[in-house]
Each structure stands twice: as C-alpha cells, then as structure tokens.
Structure 1
Amino acid sequence: MAATATVNPQQWRAAQEALAAATDRFARLVESVDRPQSMVTAHWSVADTVVHLVSVAWWYATKLDPEHPPLPIPGLDARLPTVTVDTIEGVNDLVLAHLTERDPAPLLAQFRADVAKILSIAADRDPDELLPWFGDARAPLAGLFGHLVNELLVHGWDIARATGRPWEMPGREAVLFFEVFLVGVVRAGYGRLLDNDEPPRERPITVEFRSAYCADITLVLHRGLVSIAAPGARPDVRVRFDPAALNLMLFGRVSRVRTALTGGVSIRGRRPWLLFPFLRVLRTPS
C-alpha cells in the first residue's frame, strides 16, 4: 500500500509557520503556569506533558541531523518499529521514566532549540521525503511537522483546560494533522501502526472527509487496510469537520456525542453508521 506522498508548497509553508507559532504559544502557556506539578490528565502533570513534547522534538531532531545527540533511553530504537497506536502508551511511560528533568525552564529551552534546529534543517529539504516513524510506518517530512503541531495543540489544550488559561487551536494549524500527517502516512504506508483485532471486512467502507480548511479526501477501508479511495468512489459516509474538534475527538479529549452535538463533526451519507467500524481501524491513541 506504499505510495508517494504529495505535499504542495502551500501546505509545506503552512506546516513550517504553524510549528513556529504553536511552539511559541505553547512555551508561553507553560511559562504562565505557577505549579508545574499540577495534574492536567489522569496521569501527567504540566511538567510531564512538557517532557513528552521535548522527547518528540528531540527524536525528530535526530532524524534530520545524524549528529544530534540521541535520546538517552536504552532499547528505544529497537522498540519503536513494533509500536501500534494501542501500545504507544508504554513507550511514553518508558520515555518519562528515563527523562527525569521536571523543571520547565531547561525543558522549554531544549524544546525551543530542537524545534529551531528542525525548522532550519528542514527548510532546504523535500517535504515529501519519507522518514521512518512508529510502528514501521513511513511519514513525509511535512507530516512530522503536522504531527508535532498537533501534539502542541492537544497537549496545550490539556494544560489550558486544567489551569484555567486560554488556548488557541486555529483550524489552519489543526488541519495539518489530518491533511498532511494522517493522509501522508496512509499514502506512504503505515506498517503495523494500525494493527488490531478487528475482523477484516470483505465489503469496503468508503468515507469522504470535508473541511473548509483543506481539500476533500476520500479514504477506504477494505480487508483491514486503509487507503486513498479511487477517484470518483461513491462514499458510504460523508464527514464534515472542524479540524480542532476532530482532533480532540480522535484523541479522546471530547466525546463523539458532544463533538457531534456542538457541530464540530457532522455525519451524513448512505450508510453513516459505517463510520464507527471505520474508526475502529483508523484510530489514534486516546
């Protein structure tokens, strides 16, 4: 199912600008928090959340610069190719156990430095360049930007919600996760990332996604595999979405019912109920 991703110049420019802007907003948000030990999810504090973001940027910096110091986590590289969306929590626990710094000041300094390096190195690289990712998947370079932007937006939402601070999730930034990262990984080949126990279906499920922030894209699930649908494929489900609302729903921050009731995602089509088995396969950690 591997194919060549296609990232246009506008998407690539948007991804670079979004990473710079979201990094600045996230850092300022964390700096405004008086108690970094405050819990923002069931298991993570503000400081833990920053460590997680640091680890992602650090890992991406090592992908782009072979001379960059590797993450000091024994066995991490051997473990990553076997990760699925359902087992990535164990990798996060491993990272947090080995990266013991919890003072936001040095953490943010490292994070800013690694993001600056990523932006500098990537500026002259092909946004379609495919790089290895979790679960033996491959992602276009621009997709890594879209993923890191989403990490900032969603975890910034966690911190802001728990500490009573404002937080922006602009649609033009949030859409990068779906349009550039998720679609890019589906095109390039997602390896074992989506491995699951869902019985393969002989009948395809075709889902059209529409948003004011990106071009329409239609995906199809057939015999357990998700791919880009052929041109002109008739969708079973039509999903219209606000990017921030979709991402918060996919990552378990807001329920599907609440997202639908508030208009963040609307579902239409001939067989709208088929979206649910589709999303049991094309899913994200929550």
Structure 2
Amino acid sequence: MTAPITHDQWKATRAAVRQTGDRFAEMVATTREPQARATADWSVADTAAHVAAIASMYVSVVRPGAVPLPAFAVEDRLLATTVDTVGELNDLTLRSFTERDPRLLAHRLRTDIDRLLRVSDGLDPAEPVTWLGGSRVPVAGVLAHLLNELLIHGRDIARAIGARWVIPARDAALFFELFVIGMVRHDVGRLLETDEPPRERRIAVEFRSRHTTPVTLVLRDGRVSVEGPGRGADVRLSFDPVTLNLMLFGRVSRARAALTGKVAVRGRRPWLLPAFLRTVRLPATRYPGPQPGGAPAGADAAPAP
C-alpha cells in the first residue's frame, strides 16, 4: 500500500534539512569542547562525524550511481544491517571516517547537505530507494531520517556543551510520517529481524498526533503493515512527535513520556504495547554521567530547552 507525499511535505522536509543542518553545523563549528561526552561512547566530535558520514552516504542512496558510495559505506554491510547490529556499522563508519576537526566537519556537513538537496531535486519524493537491511524507503523518508539524525544528535551535543537546541514538533513529525510509515508501506527488509520467534498474535497500534495523519501499524507473525485508523486497534497512542522520537531512540524513558502526558496510551489492550515495541524498535544510545545543568543522564533526561 503506497501513499502520496505532498508537495508541501517535500518542500517542508527539504527546508528543514537545510535549516537544521545549518544550525547543527554552526553549533559544531563554534564549540570549544569537541571532546566533551555527547553519549557514553561518542564525543561531540565523534557525534558530528557520525552525522556528517550519514549525509555523505545519503547522496549515493537517493541517487544511486550519481556518485560512488563513500569508502566507509560497504554495500554488503549496509544490506545485512539490522536494528540490533547498526552499532557495528556505526563503529565501522567512524573508524573509516577519521575527520574530527569541528570546523572541517561543519564544512563537510554543509557541503554534503547541499549535494543531497541538489541530487534529490526533481526526484519523485515517493519513489522508494534501498536503505539499511534491504529495506525500501521513499526518497523523502531518507531526507526525513537525516533530519531526525540532525535533531536528535544536535540535542546530544547541545546537552554536552550547555547550548540551546530546539526540536520543532512539525520537523519531528516528518520522521514518523515519511520515514517510519514510508518504510513500512514499502518494505522493512530484514531491518527488524531478531533471534526471537515471531509472535502469531496480531497487535494493532493506532498512532495519532496533531502533526500527522492518523494511522495504524499492525504486527503479526513478525511482519509490520499499515492500515487506516479504525475500531480494530488494540492500542491507541496519542503523541507529541518530539517526545515519541526521543522515546524511540532511548533519550526519554517510556515512563517519563507517559508521566508528562506527551505520549498517552489507551485502547482495549494497552498492555500489548511493550510486545509491539520489542519488534517495532529503533536503536537507543547509552549516556555518560550527569549532564550540564544537573540534569540526570540516560533515557530519563529531560529534553534540552
């Protein structure tokens, strides 16, 4: 089942990538603390290199053949990657992508975002391209994924150096609607594979927010599909897109998201949501000790101002 991506969505995604990329690059270029810990494993400079590497790789992903894949993007490794092994791909990338000078990283990020916007200009934003694990993601979804990387890792860096970082809800919503739903509509490939046997029980979760079109994701026999909203949902989840993304990537705990009211769970069988999220999941990140301003580290940390 496919869905059109509107001109307004495509225009908004491209503008947000440009604007957020500029914000991110400026923050990185002017930092005086490139070795500060942004995550448990990565410094500010490592985190910036990670995002710059993704921007570089996505030029080849959205326009296959236009430019060669970067040396660190081993194609067979990309196709074999799952959510549970993406950390290994990240480690390989950072070992190969060796630049750590903040100013040079900021310049390279801006350059590759320019290239990405240029090579994607004129493409059908709904056209699927091959992504990690052999999944198929619309072109607009690839840009929305880069936007989310900029937003989430921009927050990581801002917390590490005590800077201000804003995540607009409308931009966060693009990740869910264009990337997550876009991939499920086409093909998730082997991205969500686990060693656990698939559950036969059907679990349907309806997602609603002020910034997205209502939609239901259905998990059955280890496979995920998209349905329209309706009475068949086991769980009804209303969400603030910023909080949902932070929760899915382990920056905010499920308990905190619920207590703040930014993610509300209702429905006939709300207890099925944890089983659903064990399969429909995204990589989380480990965090170091207390962050600037005394905020606790880890998944329970409050969003940056």
**Shared topology, TM-score over 0.5?**
yes
Is 2:148 the partner of 1:156?
no
Letter of the 2:136 partner, please give it: R
For residues 167 and 264 of structure 2, the distance between their equivalents in structure 1, rounded to whole angstroms, comes to 19
Letter of the 1:131 partner, please give it: V
For residues 222 and 65 of structure 1, the distance between their equivalents in structure 2, rounded to whole angstroms, comes to 33
Secondary structure of 1:113's counterpart equals: helix
Q: 1:138 aligns with which of 122, 128, 136?
A: 136
Secondary structure of 1:214's counterpart equals: coil
Runs of 5+ unmatched residues, structure 2: 285-305
Output one character per residue of 1:74-105: Cα deviation in whole Å (capped at 9) or x when no partner: x7111111100000000000011111111011
**Partner of 1:70 in structure 2?**
69
Secondary structure of 2:145's counterpart equals: helix
**Partner of 1:101 in structure 2?**
99
**Partner of 1:278 in structure 2?**
276
**Partner of 2:145 in structure 1?**
147
Q: 2:33 aligns with which of 29, 32, 35?
A: 35
**Partner of 1:227 in structure 2?**
225
For residues 232 and 212 of structure 1, the distance between their equivalents in structure 2, rounded to whole angstroms, comes to 17
Deviation, 1:31, is: 2.5
**Partner of 1:182 in structure 2?**
180
For residues 275 and 259 of structure 1, the distance between their equivalents in structure 2, rounded to whole angstroms, comes to 14
Question: Percentage identity across aligned positions?
Answer: 50
**Partner of 1:240 in structure 2?**
238
Output one character per residue of 1:214-267: Cα deviation in whole Å (capped at 9) or x when no partner: 111111111111101256452110101111100111001111111111122110
For residues 134 and 101 of structure 1, the distance between their equivalents in structure 2, rounded to whole angstroms, comes to 24
Letter of the 2:16 partner, please give it: A
Letter of the 1:68 partner, please give it: V
**Partner of 2:90 in structure 1?**
92
For residues 4 and 189 of structure 2, the distance between their equivalents in structure 1, rounded to whole angstroms, comes to 19
Secondary structure of 2:214's counterpart equals: strand
Output one character per residue of 1:2-26: Cα deviation in whole Å (capped at 9) or x when no partner: x435312221111111111111111
**Partner of 1:83 in structure 2?**
81
**Partner of 2:53 in structure 1?**
55
Output one character per residue of 1:179-217: Cα deviation in whole Å (capped at 9) or x when no partner: 000000001101000001333223211100001111111
* Inter-CA distance 231–240: structure 2 relative to 1 (3 Å threshold): closer
Greater displacement, 170-179 / 63-72: 63-72
Letter of the 2:234 partner, please give it: D
**Partner of 2:299 in structure 1?**
none
Q: 1:205 aligns with which of 181, 203, 206?
A: 203
Letter of the 2:177 partner, please give it: E
Output one character per residue of 1:18-67: Cα deviation in whole Å (capped at 9) or x when no partner: 11111111112212310211111000011101111111111111232634
Letter of the 2:76 partner, please give it: A
Contact in 1 for aligned 2:215/2:229 (Cα 8 Å)? no
**Partner of 1:268 in structure 2?**
266
For residues 120 and 101 of structure 1, the distance between their equivalents in structure 2, rounded to whole angstroms, comes to 24
Is 2:164 the partner of 1:166?
yes
Contact in 2 for aligned 1:85/1:285 (Cα 8 Å)? yes
Contact in 1 for aligned 2:30/2:103 (Cα 8 Å)? no
Deviation, 1:162, is: 1.5
**Partner of 1:10 in structure 2?**
8
For residues 110 and 208 of structure 2, the distance between their equivalents in structure 1, rounded to whole angstroms, comes to 33
Give TM-score, length-normalised by structure 1: 0.95
Contact in 1 for aligned 2:240/2:263 (Cα 8 Å)? yes
Secondary structure of 1:86's counterpart equals: helix
For residues 125 and 218 of structure 1, the distance between their equivalents in structure 2, rounded to whole angstroms, comes to 28
Contact in 1 for aligned 2:54/2:146 (Cα 8 Å)? yes
Is 2:113 the partner of 1:115?
yes
